[in-house]
Structure 1
Amino acid sequence: MGPPDEYNHLSGLVVDSAFKVHTTLGPGLIESVYEACMLHELRKRGVHAESQVSLPIRYDDVTLDAGLRLDIWVERKLIVELKATESLLPVHKAQLLTYLKLSRCRLGLLINFNSALIKDGIQRLAL
């Protein structure tokens, strides 16, 4: 499986997992609940996924841990940023784009579990 196919496959597994979690739990819970359930669903599907991964920054030729954390890093290739908010704002998209640049990842998914329909709460961002 080549890189574009691999990214599509991984993002498909993440979206399928999000649909399962949202169908089971619905909107209205806090982000950490969705994160734990997403990790469980991804691992059931045989996907290597890590949560709350520290993302250091380079500043003035020094590597700093500035408290940036990736919600879920899938196979070290796809960043999943989870939200449980009334609506996604431009700052949420900017946050994920920054994470993509700092990590040198090419693809990210922004998922808002507080959407009535989960399909309306998913945005795919690529560099």
Structure 2
Amino acid sequence: MDHNAQRDPQTYALIGAAMAVHRELGHGFLEAVYHDALEIEFTKQGIPFLREVPIPIYYRNILLKATYRADFVCFDAVIVELKAIDMLSGKEEAQILNYLKASKKHKGLLLNFGNKSLQHKRIVLNLQENT
């Protein structure tokens, strides 16, 4: 088995599904097309997921009206955010970091279908409090 698959089988499976979609469709479509295709691929590969998951945001333990919406939450543990842009930047990483903080989840995966090759970035957030 591949070393990356042993280290983190969930994100390895998600990247594999994204690569299958990118191989089939290539780059240049709108983000919504990749959402639909990835949903089909997740189902085909038996990857558990929820799509367009609302993430509530709290300030001083008060629920705010504003919410985030994650493209996918897979394995009930990994937030997956899709993009179809020329190149990933710090802005997209900050977005998924905020999703992780608000959801109290530890792993995120940023997927960009807008380039000739699929771009992916695994993001891990350590939520442990300093004591």
TM-score, length basis structure 1: 0.89
Does structure 2 conserve the Cα–Cα contact (< 8 Å) formed by 1:13 and 1:42? no
| Helix, strand or coil at the partner of 1:54 | strand
**Corresponding residue for 1:101?**
101
Q: Distance in 2 between matches of 1:62 and 1:49?
A: 28
Q: Percent identity?
A: 34
Shift of 1:98: 0.8
Which structure carries more helix by proportion?
1
Q: Which residues of structure 2 form unaligned runs of 5+? A: 126-131
Report 1:25-36 matches (<5 A): 25-36=25-36
Cα distance in structure 1, aligned partners of 2:7 and 2:95 = 20
Q: 1:113 to 1:97 in 2, by over 3 A?
A: same
- The equivalent of 2:87 in structure 1 is 87
Question: 1:64: Cα distance to partner?
Answer: 2.5
SS at 2:66's partner residue?
A: coil
Deviation, 1:117, is 1.1
> What stretches of structure 1 of length at least 5 have no aligned partner?
none
Q: Which residue of 2 aligns with 1:54?
A: 54
Please identify runs of 4+ aligned residues in structure 1 that moved more than 2 A.
none
TM-score by length of 2: 0.86
Q: Which moved more, 1:20-29 or 1:61-70?
A: 61-70
Whichever of the two has the greater Rg, that structure is: 2
Q: Secondary structure at the match of 1:114?
A: coil
Structure with bigger strand share is 2
| 8 A contact 1:48–1:74 mirrored in 2 | yes
How many pairs are equivalent?
121
Q: Distance in 2 between matches of 1:52 and 1:20?
A: 21
The verdict on how the C-alpha distance between 1:108 and 1:42 changes in structure 2, with shifts beyond 3 A counting, is: same
| Match of residue 66 from structure 1 | 66
1:123: which partner in 2?
Answer: 121
Q: Which amino acid aligns with 1:106?
A: H
Structure 1 residues 50-69: Cα deviation after superposition (integer angstroms, max 9, x where no partner)? 11111110024321341410
